[in-house]
Structure 1
Amino acid sequence: MSEYDFDTSTLTDAEAAAVDAAPAPVVAVVGRPNVGKSTLVNRIIGRREAVVEDVPGVTRDRVAYDATWAGRRFTVVDTGGWLPDETGLAAAIAEQARLAVDLADVVMFVVDATVGATDVDEAVVEILRRSGKPVVLVANKVDDVAAESDAAALWSLGIGEPYPVSALHGRSSGDLLDAVLAALPEEAPAETFEEAGGPRRVALLGRPNVGKSSLLNKLAGENRAVVDSVAGTTRDPIDEEIELGGKVWRFIDTAGIRRRHRENQGADFYATLRTQSALERAEVAVVLVDADEPMAEQDLRIISMVIESGRALVIAYNKWDLLDEERRHYLEREIDRQLHNARWAPRVNISAKTGRHMEKLVPGLETALEGWGTRVPTSKLNQFFADLVNSHPHPIRGGKQPKILFATQAGVRPPRFVLFTSGFLEEGYRRFIERRLREEFGFEGTPLDITMKIREKRGKKK
């Protein structure tokens, strides 16, 4: 067992993929230089990753890490030593720490109990009070019972109970993390899609007469597993459980719907309603397109509905076997021009009538679902953004240049990212970010949800 053996760890990829929650709350670790902040961060995340050196100012930037305690996931932000009113490097470190506090849900304020509260600590306390954020006071370097009286003296700071710990040895770390969890905002309920171990759910979508029924009948006729009825208020669909590629998939049929109301709006209304109903119950959508005809507005509208619903996407071009070389050439140009917002979707070329290339459907589905559930570790994500901002900073607008302070992946299915920024990022720059994220980490077959959390200016009253 290493000295980092108390019961906590960062989320593994498997654990992270199973969790689809709201954005992880942020815990900022602040304090003056050399009080043991990075050692404490290493203790919390369960491994040596934060740089530790017995020299003040070694940690110069905010560095974010995934962590979990008692089943609760959160992001820890390690900061440089905070020396208020300093100039040069110290001032830059102080500004980084202030930014972390502005963006945090909870602040862990670390004080060296063996030294006691200094004038710098008092100044930091005043800044923390003005921030209005919950503060957990950490009395570090309490290595034994005899030193606990040193921790008790920190009540004088006036920000609540000091928690005596030894970041180096792990003493009382659990009690401290329990206090941090108690200060975190209430956890949002997780989203769930499929039953554990159940078939993945596939919505088969497309405009009328594009070949959906032919495709479903071909799949079911050749590889039928079971058929069961699922009751609904506005529809009576029959879901097909079909074995493909050695797995059972649940295809959500969108054909059955009772025209019970608003009949005057015509077939297009019901087609849209069927599509929305299927998407609500699906994890991945296969949009069937007639490759023998120019792509219609309704095709594009259905694809946009899938993207807006946040489901994984596969585009299947039906009647591919009927195309000559000239039509295939023009189809490629159509796809590039009209599907600019879904170039990331796997494409399969099939024939629903003859069954040609049906075997390509399963790899497309698996690729899209894998992308849909992909999570990037916070440390790797922030290294990516650091490199991105250094090489391609946001354009200066009106004398200001918004920056990405740090980022976290808030969830999966679809992958959701929250960018903590110093200002508004233009749409073009956000599209650039999405393109680079896909180049770096894949995300084939899934839309990406990228949102900003803009830091409010200090001193601004709510």
Structure 2
Amino acid sequence: MSRLPVVAIVGRPNVGKSTLFNALTRTRDALVADIPGVTRDRIYGRATLGEQPAILIDTGGLEEAADEVMAGAQQQTRLAVEEADVVIFVTDARAGVTPDDLEISRWLRSCDKPLYLAVNKTDGLSEAQAMADASELGFESMTLMAASHRRGVERLAREVAEGLPAHEPEAPAAEGSIQLALIGRPNAGKSTLLNRLVGEERALATPIAGTTRDPIHADVERDGLKLHLVDTAGIRRRRGSHEGIERFSTIKALQAIEQAQVVVLLVDASDGVTEQDARLAGHVIDAGRALIVVLNKWDSISEDERHKVLVAMAERMNFASFAPVVTTSALHGSGLGELTDAIDHVFKAANQDLSTPALTRTLRKAVEAHAPAGSKRGTPKLRYAHSGGTFPTRIVIHGNRTAHVQEQYRRYLINCLRRQFDLTGIPVRLIFKDSDNPYAGRKNKLTPRQLQKRKRLKNLGRRKKSRK
């Protein structure tokens, strides 16, 4: 399995970089406003460009730094370009080509990275004029778009996908092993847990946050379960993290998620559940990998604090309520049996045979109990379902007018499927397809009697017109 390619989005402030990031990742992770300089730190997301998955980086605007904060934001952008395999350079068609655009384009060419020019905010403008203005930058090809309306976004995604580099596959794990990634914030106890599972000091574990720099791989068999473990560097908030040696940790952790089958998210119970923990869980769900949440250092907090942690988790990570929660103390080895049981359970759940008859019966029971809501364009008819693959678990549902199935009803169907097949810890993706109409495009062949009747009706219509 090859690592995900990395794509950085750069440009001046307020040209629409964050809007493009949100459009490509289909999220609202990047803050968007009409005020220049809103984005200061690198923001990472997962996108599918064409049919190629990739990691996207949204960056702060490049311009002359007015203070230390802006200087730090520009340094973050330069680090993002160094991390990237491909760069999308975004300009503002309404502002035209500015001296800053020319300076940025010269710098990007010196970085020796594949470049794609995206001319944004072209809505309401002459395409010929926009292309003529942008040609001053000297790019052989460009994409005109309006990211806020998604016009031209898919075309840009396809063009970038064609230029993404091919990567050599990672070294394969032991045959029959479960691919398991350990992720979490710095100092959550990932390396300590790895050492406990392996039974030796494979990873350096210290109280100092950020000790682990590169992913550490280990094969282990525990309780009859073969695991290929990957301990990743802690993913911290980008603000204040400017060390050059740390700048690849987020990329490598996201790539480890992509290569895993089961992901264990370690949460430091003594710190509580944070927004960053929730964001990491979101990355796992986006990648379609099985998720287990481990509340580590459980022995270091009181009963009252434990209750608060569980309440905070229910609130901050309600979108991942399907994931099993295990409490551990990696330092003392408590809870490891429950963890290996959870890993075994979610892996078997993800790999179970979801037969077409069983899925279809579950679908029909769900529709009988609660039919999908109708609209002016008609009511969706859901007929049968079948498996579409694992990691991510995909279920394909066929019917008519499936494009009108509401998001709330999709969640209802996922919950029905999860209960029926015990899909604990498994993100489920529904793919709706309209059944082909066998008579589409075919003309009915009229019988001689029908032809005669049609001729009589036409003659009757002509006589009525002539009388008027």
* TM-score, normalised relative to structure 2: 0.50
CA contact (8 A) 1:421 1:453 kept: yes
In 2, the alpha carbon distance for the partners of 1:330 and 1:256 equals 24
In 2, the alpha carbon distance for the partners of 1:354 and 1:300 equals 26
Q: 2:255 aligns with which of 253, 274, 277?
A: 277
> In the alignment, is residue 449 of structure 1 matched against residue 425 of structure 2?
no
Aligned partner letter, 1:446 = I
Q: Counterpart of 1:432 in 2: which secondary structure? A: helix
| 1:407 paired residue number | 385
CA RMSD of aligned residues (A): 3.2
Q: 1:244 aligns with which of 222, 225, 238?
A: 222
CA contact (8 A) 1:204 1:287 kept: yes
In 2, the alpha carbon distance for the partners of 1:359 and 1:266 equals 38
| 2:153 paired residue number | none
> In the alignment, is residue 305 of structure 1 matched against residue 288 of structure 2?
no
> In the alignment, is residue 220 of structure 1 matched against residue 198 of structure 2?
yes
Aligned partner letter, 1:427 = E
Q: Deviations over 1:122-143 (max 9, x none)?
A: xxxxxxxxxxxxxxxxxxxxxx
Q: Deviations over 1:234-264 (max 9, x none)?
A: x85431222321333221132499xxxxx96
CA contact (8 A) 1:374 1:443 kept: no
CA contact (8 A) 2:385 2:396 kept: yes
Q: How many matched pairs? A: 257
Q: Counterpart of 2:248 in 1: which secondary structure? A: helix
CA contact (8 A) 2:186 2:234 kept: no
| 1:291 paired residue number | 269
In 1, the alpha carbon distance for the partners of 2:331 and 2:173 equals 32
- Change in 2 beyond 3 A, CA 1:294/1:236: closer
Aligned partner letter, 1:329 = H
Q: Deviations over 1:202-234 (max 9, x none)?
A: 11100112111222223334598xxxxxxxxxx
Q: Deviations over 1:76-118 (max 9, x none)?
A: xxxxxxxxxxxxxxxxxxxxxxxxxxxxxxxxxxxxxxxxxxx
In 1, the alpha carbon distance for the partners of 2:388 and 2:428 equals 11
CA contact (8 A) 1:223 1:242 kept: no
| 2:408 paired residue number | 428
Q: Counterpart of 1:376 in 2: which secondary structure? A: coil
Aligned partner letter, 2:320 = A
- Superposed, 1:147-186 pairs within 5 Å as none
Q: 2:319 aligns with which of 328, 337, 341?
A: 341
Q: 2:371 aligns with which of 393, 407, 412?
A: 393
> In the alignment, is residue 371 of structure 1 matched against residue 328 of structure 2?
no
* TM-score, normalised relative to structure 1: 0.50
- In the TM superposition, residue 350 of structure 1 has moved relative to its aligned partner by 0.2
CA contact (8 A) 1:194 1:201 kept: no
In 1, the alpha carbon distance for the partners of 2:264 and 2:232 equals 12
Aligned partner letter, 1:443 = L
In 1, the alpha carbon distance for the partners of 2:245 and 2:311 equals 31
Give structure 1 stretches of 5+ with no counterpart: 1-191, 225-234, 258-262
Q: Counterpart of 2:386 in 1: which secondary structure? A: strand
- Stretch deviating more after TM superposition (393-402 or 215-224): 215-224
In 1, the alpha carbon distance for the partners of 2:171 and 2:325 equals 24
- In the TM superposition, residue 429 of structure 1 has moved relative to its aligned partner by 0.3
Aligned partner letter, 1:384 = T
Q: Counterpart of 2:343 in 1: which secondary structure? A: helix
Aligned partner letter, 2:231 = D
In 2, the alpha carbon distance for the partners of 1:405 and 1:360 equals 40
- Superposed, 1:23-172 pairs within 5 Å as none
| 1:200 paired residue number | 178
- Stretch deviating more after TM superposition (293-302 or 248-257): 248-257
Q: Counterpart of 1:368 in 2: which secondary structure? A: helix
Give structure 2 stretches of 5+ with no counterpart: 1-169, 203-212, 236-240, 443-468
In 1, the alpha carbon distance for the partners of 2:370 and 2:197 equals 47
> In the alignment, is residue 318 of structure 1 matched against residue 291 of structure 2?
no
Q: Counterpart of 1:279 in 2: which secondary structure? A: helix
CA contact (8 A) 1:237 1:256 kept: no
CA contact (8 A) 2:215 2:253 kept: no
Aligned partner letter, 2:304 = E
